[in-house]
Structure 1
Amino acid sequence: MIFMPQKKIENMVGQKAELDDYIGQFLNNRYLIRDLIGKGGMGRVYLAEDTAKGGMPIAIKILSLSLANQQMSQRFAREIFIGAQLGRKSKHIVRILSYGVTEDKTPYYVMEYLQGKNLKQILKIQPLTISKFLEICNQICLGLQCAHQGISLKGEIYPIVHRDIKPENIFLSEDSKEREIVKILDFGIAKFLTERSGMTLTDSFIGSLPYCSPEHMEGRKLLDVRSDIYSLGVLMFEMLTGKHPFQTKSNSFGTWYQAHRFQMPPTLEEVNPQVKVPQVLEKLLMSCLAKEVSDRPQNINQILEDLEKVNSQINDVLLNNSSDILKVSLPVKLVPATFLSEQECLQKNWPKNKPIAPIGFPHLLQTPQRPIPTFWAMLPKQEIAKFLNKVHSTEFISKINVYPMLLWVTVLYDAQPSMTKWLPYFLDLKDNKGQNIARSLAEVGYYHLLFFPLEEPNRCSHVTTLSLTANQRQQLVDWLDISQRTNELILSNQAKNLLKTEYEKLKLDILQKLAADHKAEKEGLKTWMDKFLEMFFKLLSRS
């Protein structure tokens, strides 16, 4: 399995990998290090092969210190032993396979190699939906519950506190059945790194300041599970709102300590007015963020119980027991709240430097908040009327490993009679314009489609808004990142021809998907009507 998404593709395109003393080296005459795939304050993570198991991919974390004495070596071995036991007990904790030291006495440990993304990468795109939040939180809590229940060591049970719960240490992978599974990384490593002798509090402090509990920052030796619960509270707040509960003017130790110890957390709605959650969830978050240890949930079991209550409340929305009236809603497409109103778009004029012809092009419109991506299309009046309220879809096609270019396709579809309008456009990620449009699409998550009639071309006649999926937004972020580090293997015109060929191959798949979506929407509307009629006749029979 894969520990982190492999960012580097330089070897695929002939570019030299980042210089690193460990790349190409063997550890313990067994593990061949292939590439650097992650780094942070605690060390570096490498992709490697286990030559004793036929080159099986594994991940190796090499810590950022040397084992100065026998006592430190014993502590390291103890923490790795604990981490390995936890990984065997819970599928929500990354599995540790082995450990050792390099020739220069630097400790390392070997882990399963996971494919997916960490929570920080996911939250960069957008906050989580309530259902996704509950799914991820439940799995995090199950992993923490296993650790907090403890492991047996020399006949005694030792509860394990993580000490560094943060988005980077929560990894979303897939199991053998392609179900998403959450894994917690780096158990015990923060504790090991803080146990170095002869260090002051700020010298020896290991942890991520935005997520640390007040007692952790005060250097209390006997942290218990409620310290992890505080960090989990910060994480949950960020998962729902997309923002941290505390605002600081600097990233210093002292500033963060003042925030964690004395700043009162705002409500979710104060930070993000669009976030609406059940009261029990809001109350749970605030209790996790309590300054005093005794005011927080005393164990993970309490949090799991509250999350189950929230889940039940959300699922129990069809029947209102007090009125016996069935609560149903139309299957609607959610249109995002935008910075630019449709009325403002309707005031836009067709550019004088563009021909009066059936063409389309992207354009960034400036607003006081940020640039908003739009796509301007000139079509005959009849076509605009035909496709205006029909199914719209957005597709991105790329061969980023040979040239940094995207084919952005807006598809207009009418099922009866079957008609499709394709609006393709090439975005070259080598130039600033292409980069800015792709970045804006990823960050904003939607674009306005402006229609200009060919017969009266000056003024925009109609506007619709298309949303991107979370996967599309993440793809755009990844492609932008890769485009900065790849060499072009072919010319720009060759890349366009390659993408056109791929585009023609995918057209049938796209049409089948649109037809399936249209059918599902019709069936959803029929289900709604059936429920409405059932409720209507039920009320008639009572009157």
Structure 2
Amino acid sequence: MFKPISDLVKSLQKDSQELLTNRYKIGNLVGKGAMGQVYKAFDTNNNDTVVAIKFLSQALLDSKMRDRFQKEAKISALLGEQSDHIVRVKDYGVDDSQVPFYVMEYLEGYDLDQLVKKKPLSFPKFLSLIRQICLGLECAHNGILVNNELAPIIHRDIKPSNIFLAKDEKGGHFVKILDFGIAQIHNPDESLTQKSFMGTPEYCSPEQMAEDELKATSDIYSLGVLMYQMLTQQTPIKAEAHNFQSWYKAHNEFPPKKLPTYLELPKDLDDLIMSCLHKSPARRPQNIREILKVIIPLDREYNSDGEINQKSQEASSALLPINTVYRQSFWPQDKPQKKIVFPNLVEAQEGAFSSLWSMLESDEVLHFQPKSTFCFTHFMFQATPHPMILWVNLLYNRTYEPKWLPCYLDLKTDIGAQISTNLISQKKYHILLFELGHPSGYKQKLTVNVASEKLKQLQNFLLKASSWQGEGQPEGSKIILKKQFESVKKTILAAVARAK
């Protein structure tokens, strides 16, 4: 017999010396969901850091639900490392009574459902929250590695109670997407069709209600319902009764209500929300980036407080095509005008793009023109003492001396993780070559496509980095990687010369 979770927790709470798996001191109940209960706890192995622990519900203790619960922990752990807008999972285990649990970051705040029930959101607040929700969803849709293939994650339960609003340093709200318990992994080796319906009918797409194949457009439909509700406190579609059959009919047959004219929404936003609610997946935005193209400029307009600075000017360039963004780029003032290499993430009309920026001597810049230059990409990884990638680029032209452009990506920093994730999703990047003493614009731009085996390699590095725990020692890994790089230089150069 399993000991009920309530009895288990009470015994741990009563005896302050008794710890869950000899590590976690259990505190008060802080939340309940369909799959389990969440308790505040303290990590005694980490200076009593406050964490949240989710136990699988006693009524769901069968092998199928255990597997789903473990999958939720795995998905959240991987995605939480790649996006600040997805709740971060730190540990998974089974207690003495064979009840599965996982440990996640402890968040102060409340969910979006509580906020929406009080009153409709102001337009600036709506834009800020939707932008953050979209960034988290985009990360999930970009996917994780399954059987050495990149597999998108479809959340399947986007609704207000699964959007947590944590307090940020400025007194605002920082979004965390919760509950990947019914998320669907697009495993390339399996059918994408749902085995049975799961979700919250009020927010489900027609194809989810029909148990058909799901893509990112299904989450986008749910996001459309969410956006409508945030602005009006109502959902755009009403069922005749609160049962599955009625909701199935409503989502498949009833047109969504128009947004009230008193909201005076910009036309492109009104059109966007209604397009998310289209019955046909093909007529909705096909990815989150299409939604962000509308949301980001509005968010900047309504949440900038009238301040115009260099950062906001640079951000506004995201509305332009990528080639225009690059043409208007300058060597950053915070970077020395030396022969250095650094990574950059650039926002543009087509999406975000990873890039490498470097300054070279004038003659070197002239040597490496796009039509005559081959760029060889090589990734090296060091897990300990710190998860670090050495991103090596070799510019090769038979006529001239080859040029190495090595760059480190610290996977425990936002920029390192974002650059790596973006390389995987975009499958290409750009190299901008600036001339020493002339920071006003690049002289050469090279576009590099990343081979599929390199993308799998990168995803594997991110997977390994997600399970890393310890004190940051990036310099230690840099030293190791630099030695390894020097030892393989000749081998790489010989292989490139033979191939070309």
1:23 paired with 2:10, answer yes
Q: Choose the corresponding residue for 2:223, options 232, 240, 250.
A: 232
Shift, 1:72, TM fit = 6.2
Which of 2, 26, 32 is equivalent to 2:25? 32
Instruction: Report if the CA contact (8 A) 1:23-1:36 is conserved.
Output: no
Counterpart CA distance in 1 for 2:263 and 2:276 is 19
Q: What does residue 250 of structure 2 align with?
A: 259
Quote the residue 2:278 is aligned against. Answer: 290
Q: Distance in 1 between matches of 2:42 and 2:236?
A: 41
Structure 2: which 5+ runs fail to align? Answer: 13-18, 186-193, 307-500
For the aligned residues, what is the CA RMSD? Answer: 2.8
- Identify the residue that residue 211 of structure 2 maps to in structure 1: 219
The answer for the alignment partner of 1:124 in structure 2 is 117
Offset of residue 103 of structure 1: 3.9
- Within a 5 Å distance, the mapping from 1:34-433 to structure 2 comes to 34-64=27-57, 65-69=59-63, 76-175=69-168, 178-191=171-184, 205-220=197-212, 222-269=213-260, 274-311=262-299
Q: CA deviation at 1:268?
A: 1.2
Q: Would you say the 8 A contact 1:151–1:159 is kept in 2?
A: yes
TM-score by length of 1: 0.49
Change (3 A) 1:213 1:125: same
Which residue identity is paired with 1:266?
K
Q: 1:251 to 1:101 in 2, by over 3 A?
A: farther
Structure 1: which 5+ runs fail to align? 1-17, 193-200, 319-543
> In 1, Cα distance between the equivalents of 2:70 and 2:274?
37
CA-to-aligned-CA distance 1:166-190 (integer Å, 9 cap, x gap): 1011111124565531110112445
Contact 1:161 / 1:188 at 8 angstroms: preserved in 2? Answer: no
In structure 2, C-alpha distance between the alignment counterparts of 1:316 and 1:32, rounded to whole Å = 43
Q: What CA deviation, in whole Å up to 9, does each residue of 1:459-489 have, x standing for no partner?
A: xxxxxxxxxxxxxxxxxxxxxxxxxxxxxxx
Give, in whole Å, the separation in 2 of the partners of 1:231 and 1:256. 14
Aligned to 2:466: none
CA contact 2:82–2:139 (8 Å) conserved in 1:
yes
Residue 104 of structure 1 and its aligned partner are, at CA, apart by 4.2
**Letter of the structure 2 residue corresponding to residue 276 of structure 1:** E
Counterpart amino acid of residue 68 in structure 1: D
> What fraction of aligned residue pairs are identical, expressed as a percent?
48
1:205 is displaced (CA, Å) by 3.7
Aligned length: 287
Q: Secondary structure at the match of 2:54?
A: strand
Change (3 A) 1:312 1:44: closer
CA deviation map 1:210-242 (0-9, x unaligned): 11111112122x421111101100000000111
Distance of 2:262 and 2:284 partners within structure 1: 26
1:87 positional shift: 0.3
The one-letter code sitting in structure 2 at the alignment partner of 1:233 is G
Secondary structure of residue in 2 paired with 1:114 = coil
1:146 match: secondary structure: helix
Inter-CA distance 41–66: structure 2 relative to 1 (3 Å threshold): closer
CA distance in 1, matches of 2:71, 2:305: 49
Query: Helix, strand or coil: the match of 2:9?
Result: coil
Matched to 2:234, the amino acid is K
- Residues 1:31 and 1:140: Cα distance change in structure 2 (over 3 Å): same
Q: Quote how far apart the aligned CAs of 1:151 are.
A: 1.8
> Are the structure 2 counterparts of residues 54 and 213 from structure 1 closer, same or farther at C-alpha, using a change threshold of 3 Å?
same
3-state SS in 2 of match to 1:22: helix
